[in-house]
């Protein structure tokens, strides 16, 4: 495994992400001598550890750019391992490695990474991680919400290597830090995040999007529907809310599938019109959206000239588990966000259809 890790060490960030994506698309042919996911995760932890050590060597020689790239490579490898991991011992090594890389990146990236607190009083303040775009010419920003029971730092570590060289700033918050007693409370907290970004000199308040990972895609939909300042949303398009509403109607009335279908169609139409910004709906194992529901939603939006696109998360099976190709999906998602937030023309056209 050490020789394989050393070979991977020759990779730059783009190359290691390509190799990670190829592995996640078809892991068995990529490592024919490995029999279990435990061996696969060990291999990727080794690759991450070697890159992390390489970063230490480079920073000690005063080469912060090379050190930064090495730590970003390490975070990509750690994320592959996290998708495969089976034992608590490996998990402890992985979490410690991720935390170490983030701390070293905070020191090496000239204040591009910040730990911030948002809001005070009611609702309670949120702790967040912020990645500032490396170019002063681009002021787009995205509020990113981790999935349920996943710390914001885990999402941050994954998105660091996916977005570090993009024209975006990221504000990462944890799903579990949000108040969930009511939809209104969550939206108030997310609005505080948007206001925080709007007040920063490195962010254009007209170019702020929201991204909900996994189950948080429903939170992103609610927020985009409640706050017209959101300029683009990666969310579930209201499908979870529609499904829940139609199920409740069917249970209360004892109605059949035909009535349920009509109720869902009506709710879907009402909900999607509340989203006054371009929307990307992600289908996959981590999300709430099935392919058939998403395709129906897209057809409905096309008929009404609503700007909605779909993204499918590539999935493979290993030892009975579904493993998502996060590299491919993140590239698709953040390319879309970069494009939609990169021009005010997209915002103007999306708003005009509701006038």
Please give, one letter per residue, the 3-state secondary structure of 19-67. HHHHHHHCHHHHCCCCCCHHHHHHHHHHHHHHHHHHHHHHHHCCCHHHH
Residue burial 46-81, b: 16+ Cβ < 10 Å; e: rest: bbbbbbbebbeebbeeeeeebbbbbbbbbbbbbbbb
Distance of CA 97 to the CA centre of its chain: 20
* Span 317-321, average pLDDT: 65
| Predicted local confidence at residue 72, as pLDDT | 97
Q: What is the rounded distance in angstroms from the CA atom of residue 133 to the CA atom of residue 123?
A: 28
* Span 17-25, average pLDDT: 92
Q: To which H or E segment does residue 159 belong? A: helix 152-163
| Predicted local confidence at residue 262, as pLDDT | 53
| Predicted local confidence at residue 304, as pLDDT | 82
Write out pLDDT tens, residues 85-130.
866 777 888 899 999 999 999 999 988 999 999 986 666 789 999 9
| Predicted local confidence at residue 3, as pLDDT | 46
Helices (H), 254-314: 257-272, 291-303
Give the residue range(s) of CATH 3.40.50.1820 domains in the chain. 113-237+275-352
Assign domain 2-108 one CATH number from 1.20.1440, 1.20.1050, 2.60.40, 1.10.3470: 1.20.1440
Give the residue range(s) of CATH 1.20.1440 domains in the chain. 2-108
Write out pLDDT tens, residues 280-312.
998 876 656 778 888 888 888 888 888 999 998
**For the sheet containing 140-145, what is the strand order?**
113-118, 126-131, 168-173, 140-145, 208-212, 232-235, 279-283, 308-312
Name the more confident of 145 and 261: 145
pLDDT band at 25 (very low <50, low <70, confident <90, very high): confident
Question: Is there a contact between 220 and 235 (Cβ–Cβ < 8 Å)?
Answer: yes
pLDDT of 213 > 80? The answer is yes
pLDDT band at 347 (very low <50, low <70, confident <90, very high): very low
pLDDT of 219 > 80? The answer is yes
Q: To which H or E segment does residue 4 belong? A: helix 2-8
| Predicted local confidence at residue 159, as pLDDT | 97
**Among all chains, which residue has been given the structure tokens 């910040």?**
114
For the domain 113-237+275-352, what is the CATH superfamily, name and number?
Answer: Alpha/Beta hydrolase fold, catalytic domain (3.40.50.1820)
| Predicted local confidence at residue 199, as pLDDT | 95
| Predicted local confidence at residue 37, as pLDDT | 74
Q: To which H or E segment does residue 199 belong? A: helix 183-199
CA-only gyration radius of the chain, Å: 21
Per cent of the chain over pLDDT 70 is: 78
Mean confidence (pLDDT) of the chain: 83
Q: What is the rounded distance in angstroms from the CA atom of residue 325 to the CA atom of residue 138?
A: 28
């Amino acid at each position: 495994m050490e020789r394989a890790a050393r070979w991977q060490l020759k990779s730059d960030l783009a190359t290691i992400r390509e190799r990670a994506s190829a592995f996640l698309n078809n892991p068995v042919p990529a490592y024919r001598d490995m029999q279990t996911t435990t061996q696969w995760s060990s291999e990727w932890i080794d690759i991450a550890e070697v890159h992390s050590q390489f970063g230490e060597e480079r920073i000690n020689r005063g080469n912060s750019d090379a050190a930064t790239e090495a730590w970003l490579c390490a975070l990509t490898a750690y994320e592959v391992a996290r998708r495969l991991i089976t034992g608590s011992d490996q998990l402890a090594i992985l979490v410690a490695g991720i935390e170490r890389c983030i701390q070293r990146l905070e020191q090496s990236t000239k204040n591009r990474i910040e730990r911030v607190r948002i809001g005070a009083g009611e609702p309670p303040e949120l702790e967040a991680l912020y990645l500032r775009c490396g170019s002063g010419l681009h002021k787009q920003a995205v509020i990113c919400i981790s999935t349920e029971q996943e710390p914001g730092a885990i999402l941050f570590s994954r998105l660091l290597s996916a977005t570090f060289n993009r024209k975006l700033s990221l504000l990462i918050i944890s799903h579990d830090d949000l108040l969930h007693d009511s939809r209104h409370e969550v939206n108030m907290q997310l609005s505080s995040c948007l206001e925080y970004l709007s007040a920063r000199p490195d962010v254009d308040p007209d170019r702020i999007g929201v991204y909900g990972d996994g189950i948080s895609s429903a939170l992103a939909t609610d927020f985009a529907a409640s706050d017209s300042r959101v300029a683009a949303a990666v969310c579930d398009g209201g499908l979870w809310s529609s499904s829940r509403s139609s199920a409740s109607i069917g249970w209360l009335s004892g109605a059949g599938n035909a009535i349920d279908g009509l109720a869902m169609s009506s709710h879907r139409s009402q909900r999607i019109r509340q989203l006054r910004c371009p929307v990307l709906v992600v289908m996959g194992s981590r999300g709430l959206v099935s392919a058939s529901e998403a395709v129906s939603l897209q057809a409905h939006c096309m008929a009404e000239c609503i700007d909605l696109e779909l993204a499918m998360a590539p999935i493979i099976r290993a030892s009975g588990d579904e493993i998502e190709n996060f590299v491919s999906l993140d590239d698709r998602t953040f390319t879309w966000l970069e494009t939609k937030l990169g021009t005010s023309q997209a915002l103007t056209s999306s708003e005009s259809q509701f006038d």
